[in-house]
Chain A
Amino acid sequence: MNRMNKAVLVINALVVFAAALSLFSATASRGSADAPELQNRAIFGPGDVKHGYESADYTTSTLDLLNRIGKEAELIKFAEQPPLGLPPVPVPADNPLTAKKILLGRKLFFDRRLSINNTFSCAMCHIPEQGFTNNELETAVGVEGRSGKRNTPTIYNVAYFGKIFHDGRESTLEQQVWAPFLARNEMANPSIGYVINKINAIDEYDGLFEEVFHGRGPTMETIGMALASYQRTLNAADSPFDRWYYGKEKNAVSDQVKRGFRLFTGKGACSSCHLVQKEHALFTDDRLHNTGLGYEVSMGRDSGTTRVQLAPGIFTELENSVINSVSRFEKNDLGLYEVTEDPNDRWKFRTPSLRNVALTAPYMHNGSFHTLREVLDFYNRGGIPNELLSPLIRPLNLTDSEIEDLLAFLRSLTGGNVPILVTDAFAAPIGDVSKDDPDWTHKNKLKY
């Protein structure tokens, strides 16, 4: 990445931040009467602010963890009456939403004890103020630091997706939760029974499942149902775009955003995959495509060196052989092929929704693009040619100003209720080990 792109990142981030500030002030109650701006900043990105880190003049504006302010929200309303621009939320007949079930799901979501060594909750990767993804890593890191090869996807609006994960291998939220619970490079629980035993052994959960599930305790099914219910409420829309396009508020967005939308559905053909319907938009076709990015990572030649930042304004070019001497990381990722083993499915990845995309950097399945500008430049070039490249990917011949218009449009997709969802998450208790919890050194030991 060159310095020019980094400069764009900074500008983008500032614009997003400014937009987010205006959104928050319009839709949410103030978290802190004497420092509302700081509270707003705490909601729309890492509190460890690194804007401008490329420059030797980098100046911190670090937020303090002790000053976070949480406020519980009535989450169920975001599922019962989704924000403007979203369709009705599909809810399985056998897992109806209730306020208590959502609250239980939220408790599980933030409980770090639900991993083999008590270090990982769902929220350690899906970080609320970072777009329920992780802005600080290209690809995820799990228990014991084990490498994930994919970027943490946001879970905003995941209620609507029929294909879950970058390779689309799962179909329901209730089932999906067990993959990270059990994956060795995520939460690394050794078995389903282990998770259930542990919840049973933590006093705080006494009676909670039974109350929510009519006498049923924690089981593979009820744990999945509770977590799915929380996630099903994280619907973020009512963005400036929604208020203009669906709400018919003429001045909800700028002329640049409107031009960007015309390009999005016209010359740019972005909406071929990122669908926009008449009454609502999910900005995804829920399908998988080969854009060439996965192909490049798997089949591209080693460039020989990597530019590494050492400190603000200080970079060096390191031989890849040096980097490889301290690495066990396998980058190759074949996407849908890893599910179907059909060679025609190599390097196909799921189309992500573009809602809230300004909050979910870095981008693509491997987080290799750090700015939306880089993403648009990639598609403008027509992706990366390979024998399986999707026919929908082709050079777009967009001008610089057209790309800027598209960027403005993408930045208009941040949900107006994001601050409510994030401050609600801040109010959730983080489950850390106490002396009463199960551990081999405690009186309370897991029963085996």
Chain B
Amino acid sequence: MKKMSKLHARWIQGSLASLCVLLASVVGFQSAAIADETCMSPYMAKIVGQEDYVYIWTLGKEGVGDGQDKLVTVSVNPESPHYGKVVNVLSVGGRNEAHHSGLTDDRRYLFAGGLDTNKIFIFDVHSNPSKPSLHKVITDFVEKTGGMVGPHTMYALPGRIMVSALSNNKDHGGRTGLAEFTNEGEFVAAHWMPTDEDMRGAVKVGNIADGYGYDVRVLPRRNVMVTSSFTGWSNYMMDFGKMLGDAEAMKRFGNTVVVWDLHTRKPKKVFEVPGSPLEIRCAWGSQNNYCFTTTALTSQIWLIHEDDAGEWHAQSVGAIGDPSQVPLPVDISITADDKGLWVQTFMDGKTRHFDISDPFNPKQTYEHVIGSQVNMTSQSWDGKRMYFTSSLLGNWDKTGDQDEQFFKLFEWNGKELVQKFAIDFYAENLGRPHQMRFGAYSLYGQKPNSKGTMLSQRVE
């Protein structure tokens, strides 16, 4: 009962924050008052104002520092004396193939997954936002889920974290599912992806029902959950060049997007989306019943949309760069007004901005080289700040001089990206930075102390 009340309080807190966002938009001063990252779960509390920290889930690399995965905290508030500096490093043991992370709906905890070891590290980010601590480690993900491997997306639902897996413990291939945990990290349920042998009530729209998984997003208004599909352990852990030369391995990529009933967790439609659709970003607008995804291998933008009759469809709406050269679109980020989509392409190190005012006809309006390779991005809610990291996967990153590993902040003025600061993660002996999540004192009724931080291991 006590827990329920707490949850209610958090929900109200989140709702109030969302209301602030809405009000701010209406009165037209969103750029001054509203921060936070786009692409988050709509169930999450939002940051009101400037974010204070970015938490970077970082892959350990042999021969670099302590060689293990870590959560790196960087101060990003320009008013902080530590602006642009690493203020905390928390090593977690092992190289787990640190990949994606996600905050709980109340933003008190950050779940961060290891695609290799199947560990999920739960960090307390609310007790001291400048110095996250390791709250709990889920080590029995595979056992509890009945054989899922590779916990990927950690996505906030009310009181829950939905985890999309990538593989399984039988053949290390791509057949997999979703796993649901409480915010406390207790296993709730496994939801396996539909396959031809067991469609679990879904309809196969095209020719393909491969059972693969990757990302998960929701549109609560439409009671819809959407998943995409990548590849199994054998491929995502393999040397990238070796895999490209292995014709058998290259057959083992996902070619599907699945639309689910959010409330019942039942798959409804399996769409054929060839070439490994990865990140999914759903629109925010109250009339915008669609989500975008991009295909890693075929370099296409796909629109997953609902028609007037309430039927869902998937269609390719544009190309990214020159698909024959496999630019490899990786992370994408939708703007808060649903008018822009940023797309990173790993191989050429570029970010591209597409005007998606007409979602059926995206037009590229800008591109910029972020580095020799680029992967993840996090965009502030006002669209003014774009954070980028470089690492894709431990054995997919570039080699030699092209293996730059950085965290960079750019400002977007509507016309061009201007770099504000960069941190070289190799020079700092940290490793390979992957996914970023924002933190702020304001979420927890806290303020930084006079030193600009509450506690820190690494005050410069």
User: Which residues of A come within 8 Å of B, CB atoms?
Assistant: 1, 38, 46-48, 50, 53, 57-68, 112, 117-119, 124, 127, 129-130, 134-139, 141, 144-145, 147, 306, 308-312, 314, 316, 318, 322-329, 362, 367, 370, 430, 432-435, 437, 439-442
Find A66's partner among B96, B174, B198 (CB 8 Å cutoff): B198
Find B399's partner among A144, A310, A328, A433 (CB 8 Å cutoff): A328
Q: Which residues of A contact B143 (CB under 8 A)?
A: 432-434
**What's the nearest-Cβ distance from chain A to residue B292, in Å?**
18
Contacting pair A119 B117 (CB below 8 A): yes
Contacting pair B175 A130 (CB below 8 A): no
Find B237's partner among A62, A66, A144, A328 (CB 8 Å cutoff): A144
Contacting pair A318 B197 (CB below 8 A): no
Chain B, 286-317, CB within 8 A of any chain A CB = 295, 297-298
Give 3 nearest A-B pairs by CB, closest first: A327-B241, A145-B237, A311-B274
Contacting pair A144 B95 (CB below 8 A): yes
Chain A residue at minimum C-beta to C-beta distance from B236: A145
Complex Cα distance, B198 from A68, in Å, reads 12
Contacting pair A430 B140 (CB below 8 A): no
Question: If the complex has contacts A60-B196, A62-B211, A64-B192, are A322 and B347 also in contact, measured as CB distance less than 8 A?
Answer: yes
Contacting pair A64 B195 (CB below 8 A): yes
Contacting pair A136 B250 (CB below 8 A): no
Q: Which residues of B contact A145 (CB under 8 A)?
A: 97, 116, 236-239, 394-395
Most buried by B among A112, A309, A311, A435: A311
**What's the nearest-Cβ distance from chain A to residue B236, in Å?**
8
What are 14 A-to-B residue pairs whose CB atoms are below 8 Å? A48-B175, A60-B196, A62-B209, A62-B210, A64-B192, A66-B198, A118-B118, A129-B171, A306-B244, A306-B245, A310-B250, A316-B326, A326-B240, A326-B347
Find A329's partner among B117, B192, B241, B253 (CB 8 Å cutoff): B241
Contacting pair A119 B249 (CB below 8 A): no
- B252 is an interface residue with CB less than 8 A from chain A: yes
Contacting pair A311 B275 (CB below 8 A): yes
Question: If the complex has contacts A136-B171, A433-B140, are A147 and B211 also in contact, measured as CB distance less than 8 A?
Answer: no
Complex Cα distance, B139 from A442, in Å, reads 9
- B442 is an interface residue with CB less than 8 A from chain A: no
Knowing that A137-B246, A144-B237 are A-B contacts, what are 19 other residue pairs whose CB atoms are under 8 Å apart, sorted by A's residue number?
A47-B175, A58-B208, A60-B209, A62-B175, A64-B198, A67-B197, A67-B198, A127-B171, A141-B238, A309-B251, A310-B275, A311-B255, A314-B275, A323-B245, A324-B241, A326-B347, A439-B139, A441-B137, A442-B139
Contacting pair B253 A311 (CB below 8 A): yes
Contacting pair A433 B139 (CB below 8 A): yes
Chain B residue at minimum C-beta to C-beta distance from A67: B197
Chain B residue at minimum C-beta to C-beta distance from A322: B347
- The range of chain B's interface size is 35 or more
- B234 is an interface residue with CB less than 8 A from chain A: yes
Contacting pair A141 B207 (CB below 8 A): no
Contacting pair A362 B248 (CB below 8 A): yes
Complex Cα distance, B172 from A430, in Å, reads 13
Question: If the complex has contacts A323-B245, A327-B239, are A435 and B196 also in contact, measured as CB distance less than 8 A?
Answer: no
Contacting pair B274 A314 (CB below 8 A): yes
Find B147's partner among A59, A65, A137, A441 (CB 8 Å cutoff): A65
Q: Which residues of B contact A119 (CB under 8 A)?
A: 116-118, 233
Most buried by A among B93, B171, B249, B394: B171
Question: If the complex has contacts A65-B168, A66-B192, A432-B169, are A1 and B247 also in contact, measured as CB distance less than 8 A?
Answer: yes
Chain B residue at minimum C-beta to C-beta distance from A361: B248
- B146 is an interface residue with CB less than 8 A from chain A: yes
Contacting pair B242 A310 (CB below 8 A): no
- B324 is an interface residue with CB less than 8 A from chain A: yes
Complex Cα distance, B207 from A135, in Å, reads 23
Most buried by A among B172, B255, B400: B172
Complex Cα distance, B97 from A145, in Å, reads 10
Complex Cα distance, B170 from A130, in Å, reads 11
